[in-house]
Amino acid sequence: MAGMSKDAFLHELLGRMSVEEKAGQLNLLTGAMDATGMKHSDDLDTKIRAGRCGAVLNVYTPAATRALQELALASPLAVPLIFGYDVIHGQRTIYPIPLGLSCSWNLDLMERCARMAAAESAADGLHWVYSPMVDISQDPRWGRVAEGAGEDPWLGAKIAAAMVRGYQGDDLAAPAAVIACVKHFALYGAPMGGRDYNTVDMSRRAMEETYFPPYRAAIDAGARTVMTAFNDIDGIPASANRWLLTELLRGQWGFRGWIVTDYTAVTEMKNHGTAATDADAARQSLDAGVDMDRVSEAFLAELPDLVESGSISEGQIDAAVLRVLETKWDLGLFRDPLARCNHEAAIHLSVENRQLAREAARESMVLLKNEAGILPLSKHRTIALVGPLADSRRDMLGCWIAAGDEALAASPLDGFRGMAETIHARGCGISEGNDDLLAEAVRAAEQADVVVLVLGESWQMSGEAASRTNIRLPECQRELARHILLTGKPCVLVTMSGRPLELTWENSRFPAILHAWALGTEGGHALAEVVFGDAAPVGKLTMGFPRSVGQLPMTYREKPTGRPFDAAAQYSSKYLDAPNDALYPFGHGLTYGEFRHAAVAIDSPEMQPGGTVTVSAEITNLGAQPATETLQLYLRDLVASVSRPVKELRGFQRVTLAAGESRVVSFQITDADLAFPGRDFQPVVEPGDFEAMIGPSSRDLRVVGFSRRS
């Protein structure tokens, strides 16, 4: 290696490899420290020692990764391993689930959280994290909405890029950097019926306008790996879809990294009915552009024979192997393969990391409702903290917690007891009622000045393989709520979940509702800080909460249709039994205090090609305390060559105002903001009339018109 360039070294190493060893570099196997799929890798040590494994998942800690890395270094060619893991929202210090964190609308915070996760992962011997998940979804029945950034492609693209930057930094060989893996490519967030792993069927326009932008943004930010989706696209499974992986991803988008399948996705093509054998599935995947086979071992078993039979060429394998080896070089593995096996674990759950996790948890909560200013609560009153989630550390962490330890997390009760006199009662289980627990909860409420009910989903009720047709609170929890409300005590509802919930019943009965998602390691302390006013809620929804599951899938970015909604017209696009819009729309989120929003002004009614217009609005803090608001900019193209959404997010600004302060907030609109995929799916900016809308949510907007000249 000494004195050799990267290109020379990698080609010399490739030239010494047998076809079997090359197939080994494209083989990702799983260890036993976690279980994230249905198949286990047998004889892991033997395959590593023989050079039949290129990467390992579900193994972490310096000691465990060192043991396997030393086996790889004892193989005939001593090619080091890459270690990967599902680090979705933290490795040891767990921050809020990605859907919750996205509600902060704080890109810098998200990047810092990803950087913290990268540093803790690297300190655990890891090189590769299977994140960010950038799948857009408009259906909260799908459990994996917990892992994404919600329904909006523009915001999702900004978040995807921030997460990639946070994980990878500027130098993959840096001690605290890891490889990002963008997933799931593509369209995985739109399964029919919201059912995980189900068929996805959509138009090319929906792909280009709604689902592709976050993937593209992550690639443009430099993501080194992409994971294929489980679903098919136009009848061809993603892991065998050459149009998707080679023509689009590598050709049109210029991706230069490597592509890995999801868990056993290669051999699952037999279940799709598009491959008869493992060999057929392996051939299709390699032809499509897949570089690494996760856990199924079809590449390891079948590629040598496929080369011998002429079904694939050795050159195809070589191209994939070089992409994997190049990343190993860039990680510094050929220089020091044991570098990350010597880290001290002092960074894990450090004071600084916990502070960041608490900051993230505070900013992720969304105040859905606060009639008569019931929140924040006084610390000088007795609080009854009631509900099956009120003292659950595990549920505070949510799904996909990597190496997080629930014993080191803070529950709501932990946070409340540090703030005020607190009486605790469970009231019921997550999904099971109990008369004794119910009676205990009623007694606690009667002894208190105020009740805080903490209800919602357990951690198992969202995430992968956790789709639900009913996204209401379980009936036993609603029964608990009925009994607590009958006591007549003031009552605040705190909901925790991995998805938007259907809270129509609760909205009609509770004066204050705070949605807390799954907040992570420091969630209980952050929750108490917000409830008691040490911090004010600043979160805004990135996915609307429906009035009914009958509305799903649902998005604020709907197209107008030929018969758009008209409450007075019978033959218009609407429901007979409910409004069309969300109960709590995209962008909604209250804080403590009140703002006045003035009309939108524009500096010019006409925009020249290549020019700009500036829209602005004055906002005033009417409260007696400093307060923060996130103003959002939406645009609408009134007449275009293809039908455009009734509104699309194109900007946002967070504003903190002193009591009584007013400020003018401005947004500059450019051609890039007006561009869309034209009839040929190429970006186009057309002349015509537009609307610019500014407000605190996608439903509460002030409008001004302008024209773009030809």
* pTM reported for the whole predicted model: 0.97
Q: What proportion of the chain, given as a percentage, has pLDDT over 70? A: 99
Report the distance separating Cα 72 and Cα 54, nearest Å: 9
**Of 165, 151, 154, residue with least CA distance to 110:** 165
What one-character-per-residue DSSP string does 203-229 give? -HHHIIIIIHHHHHHHHHTT--EEEE-
The per-residue pLDDT for 37 is: 84
Two domains, one topology: 349-551 and 595-708: no
Mean pLDDT across the chain, nearest whole number?
Answer: 97
609 three-class SS: coil
Q: Which residue has the tokens 């529950």?
A: 411
Q: Which of 337-341, 525-529, 620-624 has the lowest mean pLDDT?
A: 337-341
Order across the sheet with 55-57: list the strands.
258-260, 225-228, 179-185, 128-129, 82-85, 55-57, 27-30, 293-294
504-518 mean pLDDT: 98
The per-residue pLDDT for 347 is: 86
The pLDDT tens digits for 167-206 are 999 999 999 999 999 999 999 999 999 999 999 999 999 9
The pLDDT tens digits for 308-331 are 999 999 999 999 999 999 999 999
The pLDDT tens digits for 452-470 are 999 999 999 999 999 999 9
Angstrom distances, CA of residue 523 to CA of 10, 419, 692 = 46, 14, 37
The per-residue pLDDT for 705 is: 98
Report the distance separating Cα 651 and Cα 129, nearest Å: 29
Cis before residue 221, ω within 30 degrees of 0? no
Instruction: Please state which CATH number belongs to domain 349-551.
Output: 3.40.50.1700
> Which residues have CB under 8 Å from 381's CB, separation 6+?
420, 421, 448, 449, 450
Domain ranges in the chain?
1-83+291-341, 349-551, 595-708
Q: Phi, psi at residue 122, to the nearest 5°? A: -60, -40
Instruction: Please state which CATH number belongs to domain 1-83+291-341.
Output: 3.20.20.300
Q: Residue 1: pLDDT above 80?
A: no
613-628 mean pLDDT: 97
Task: Classify domain 595-708 at the CATH class level.
Answer: mainly beta
282-291 mean pLDDT: 98
The pLDDT tens digits for 567-583 are 899 999 999 999 999 99
Report the distance separating Cα 30 and Cα 184, nearest Å: 19
Q: Are strands 683-684 and 450-456 parallel, antiparallel or unpaired?
A: unpaired
The pLDDT tens digits for 29-67 are 999 998 888 888 889 999 999 999 999 999 999 999 999
The per-residue pLDDT for 2 is: 66
Cis before residue 213, ω within 30 degrees of 0? no
Active-site residue (options: 86, 152, 262, 391): 262
The per-residue pLDDT for 73 is: 97
Q: How many CA atoms lie within 13 A of 429 on its CB side?
A: 4
What element of type H or E holds 523?
A: helix 523-531
> Which residue type occupies 210?
T
82-103 mean pLDDT: 98
649-655 mean pLDDT: 98
The per-residue pLDDT for 38 is: 81
10 three-class SS: helix
259-264 mean pLDDT: 98
Cis before residue 553, ω within 30 degrees of 0? yes
Active-site residue, 262 included = yes
The per-residue pLDDT for 346 is: 76
